[in-house]
């Protein structure tokens, strides 16, 4: 079965086309600058040269049509006809409390996703545009939605509630939801496979550290706690996001600096984190390069970033009353051996011991980076959220 995976943002649309017989990627690509003049389409068929086109794509509907045209194009395509696409899976950021797992799109599901626009105003509306665009361009093709929050719906109340008036939870559903669920879910299964033990028997801390970053405590195969909260701002220090801080900083800064709510929100989401402390970049590569040149602010940003990661791993080891493995994934987690070393070398008391040679190997394979004697296993597992979306979509649709 051919499954198309879509990840729609406000001005972008990423896609991957899978043949589920062998889970092979037939093509992938992205449409950027939707709604702006000179949109850019990058199409990468697996066995053919990459295509890059600049054209005017004013909405998601036109973007989806463009993707289908490219997938079925005589020269650049990988399909003979669009009827070969048997299902489409969408990444949806916020599933609120309504969605505890992936589901097939129905009119009721669409209504429910609309109700969640309030909780994810930047993310859920474009996902809905993607769903409607597929409906218009591939009529009758079943669609599924896979939520970033769904994996974390297993958290117990003591993890997901904030100690603020309960009326805020009852009225507005203010609670911890957590994000990157598809990734934490995927890497935890892969890690258990590599360790060679049932996932249910393991206590894991998975660290998804990319531009956005979150840690999850996984107990008996389920999310027990996670560092992102109501929004993806809480938790670890990130590229441009602050992560945890005293909430009183918000009113205090608004008062002292005469900032509006939207200005303070933009400060914490877009002008904080690595970017703010280094004064240089939100990109860990640039931070570590500058550190090597002796840049003190870059070093401080790096130290704060890795210190906060260590604190979360320690906290989650305590939360689960033990830890069997630490898993690193996403851009920084998969690529930055110096970040991994700074983190693991600082938590040896937990029983984690890094093998420096293994840590320095670059590979796309899931692998151990701890020593054979290390009681707590440390792994790097490349994430693959698209594959998990394709699998969920396939499993939901094949029985229909």
Smallest gap from residue 340 Cβ to ligand ADP (A): 10
Considering the complex, state which of residue 6 and residue 396 has its C-beta at the smaller distance from ligand ADP. Answer: 6
| 386 assigned binding-site residue | no
Considering the complex, state which of residue 178 and residue 210 has its C-beta at the smaller distance from ligand ADP. Answer: 210
* β-sheet bridge partners, residue 223: 218
| 229 assigned binding-site residue | no
Phi/psi at 382 (nearest 5 deg)? -60, 130
| 211 assigned binding-site residue | yes
Considering the complex, state which of residue 89 and residue 212 has its C-beta at the smaller distance from ligand ADP. Answer: 212
Smallest gap from residue 126 Cβ to ligand ADP (A): 15
| 123 assigned binding-site residue | no
Considering the complex, state which of residue 33 and residue 173 has its C-beta at the smaller distance from ligand ADP. Answer: 33
148 given a catalytic annotation? yes
Q: Which one from 118, 148, 244, 246 is the annotated catalytic residue?
A: 148
Q: Applying CB under 6 A, which residues contact ligand ADP?
A: 210-212, 239, 283-285, 330-332, 335-336
Considering the complex, state which of residue 143 and residue 306 has its C-beta at the smaller distance from ligand ADP. Answer: 306
| 208 assigned binding-site residue | yes
Which residue of the chain is nearest ligand ADP when measured via CB?
Answer: 331
Smallest gap from residue 356 Cβ to ligand ADP (A): 17
Smallest gap from residue 16 Cβ to ligand ADP (A): 14
Q: How far apart are CA 321 and CA 7, in angstroms?
A: 37
Considering the complex, state which of residue 287 and residue 390 has its C-beta at the smaller distance from ligand ADP. Answer: 287
Smallest gap from residue 208 Cβ to ligand ADP (A): 8
* β-sheet bridge partners, residue 377: 325
Residues 6+ apart with CB under 8 A from 160: 152, 175, 176, 177
| 335 assigned binding-site residue | yes
| 287 assigned binding-site residue | no
| 285 assigned binding-site residue | yes
Smallest gap from residue 332 Cβ to ligand ADP (A): 5
Smallest gap from residue 400 Cβ to ligand ADP (A): 31
Considering the complex, state which of residue 312 and residue 394 has its C-beta at the smaller distance from ligand ADP. Answer: 312
Total residue count of the chain as it appears in this document = 400
Q: Exposed, middle or buried by CB within 10 Å (0-12, 13-18, 19+), for 256?
A: exposed
Please state the residue numbers annotated as binding site.
7, 14, 91, 208-212, 283-285, 331-335, 385
Catalytic residues: 148
């Amino acid at each position: 079965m051919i499954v198309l995976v879509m990840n729609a943002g406000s001005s972008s649309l990423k896609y991957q086309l899978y043949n589920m017989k062998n889970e092979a990627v037939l093509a992938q690509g992205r449409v950027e600058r939707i709604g702006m003049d000179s949109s850019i389409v990058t199409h990468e068929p697996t066995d053919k040269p990459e295509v890059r086109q600049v054209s005017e794509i004013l909405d998601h509907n036109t973007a989806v049509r463009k993707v289908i045209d490219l997938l079925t194009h005589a020269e650049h395509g990988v399909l003979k006809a669009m009827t070969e696409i048997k299902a489409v899976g969408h990444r949806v950021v916020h599933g609120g409390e309504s969605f505890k797992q992936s589901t097939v799109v129905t009119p009721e599901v669409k209504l429910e996703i609309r109700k969640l626009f309030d909780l994810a105003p930047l993310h859920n509306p474009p996902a809905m545009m993607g769903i409607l665009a597929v409906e218009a361009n591939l009529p009758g093709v079943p669609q599924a939605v896979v939520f970033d929050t769904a994996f974390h719906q297993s958290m117990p109340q003591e993890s997901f509630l904030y100690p603020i008036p309960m009326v805020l939870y009852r009225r507005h559903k203010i609670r911890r939801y957590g994000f990157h669920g598809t990734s934490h879910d995927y890497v935890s299964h892969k890690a258990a496979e590599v360790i060679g033990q049932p996932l249910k028997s393991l206590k894991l801390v998975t660290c998804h550290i990319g531009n956005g970053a979150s840690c999850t405590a996984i107990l008996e195969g389920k999310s027990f706690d996670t560092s992102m909260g109501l929004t993806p701002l809480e938790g670890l220090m990130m590229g441009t996001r602050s992560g945890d801080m005293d909430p009183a900083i918000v009113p205090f800064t608004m008062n002292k600096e005469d900032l509006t709510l939207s200005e303070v929100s933009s400060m914490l989401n877009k002008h904080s984190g690595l970017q703010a402390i280094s004064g240089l970049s939100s990109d860990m590569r640039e931070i570590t390069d500058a550190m090597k040149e002796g840049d003190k602010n870059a070093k401080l940003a790096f130290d704060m970033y890795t210190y906060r990661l260590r604190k979360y791993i320690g906290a989650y080891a305590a939360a689960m009353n033990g830890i069997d493995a630490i898993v690193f994934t996403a851009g920084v987690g998969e690529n930055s051996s110096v970040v991994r070393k700074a983190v693991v070398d600082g938590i040896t008391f937990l029983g984690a011991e890094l093998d420096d040679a293994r840590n320095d190997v670059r590979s796309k394979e899931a692998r151990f980076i701890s020593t054979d004697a290390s009681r707590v296993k440390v792994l790097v597992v490349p994430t693959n959220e698209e594959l998990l979306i394709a699998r969920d979509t396939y499993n939901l649709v094949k029985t229909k």
